[in-house]
Amino acid sequence: AHISKETMKYLAGFPGRFIYVHTPKHGSWLNLVETLFGKMARTFLKHIRVTSKKELKDRILLGIKEINDSPVVHRWKKFNFAQNF
């Protein structure tokens, strides 16, 4: 994530709750991660109520197992910015 100084200052007010992790600005591999998180949010995490972190962890692990049971092949495409714009 690319976070402003103001946001970093705000998050610092909650020690231990948020961890800033630098990621490359143009990391195309992040698209796959965002796709996975989106799929999780739209499917097995949608409209759920959990009573503990353990229950949430268990649901996430079960959902990941279900995703892994039906894999999807992602095809990488080379994108030439200058050619396309």
Residues 6+ apart with CB under 8 A from 23: 1, 30
pLDDT for 28 equals 72
Instruction: Provide the residue ranges of all domains of the chain, joining segments of one domain with +.
Output: 5-72
Residues 6+ apart with CB under 8 A from 56: 50
Tell me: the pLDDT tens digits for 49-60? Answer: 999 999 999 999
Residues of the chain below pLDDT 70? 1-3, 21-27, 74, 76-85
DSSP 76: P
CB 1 within 8 A of CB 23: yes
Report helix, strand and coil shares of the chain as percent, to nearest 5.
50, 0, 50
Q: What pTM, to 2 d.p., does this model score?
A: 0.50
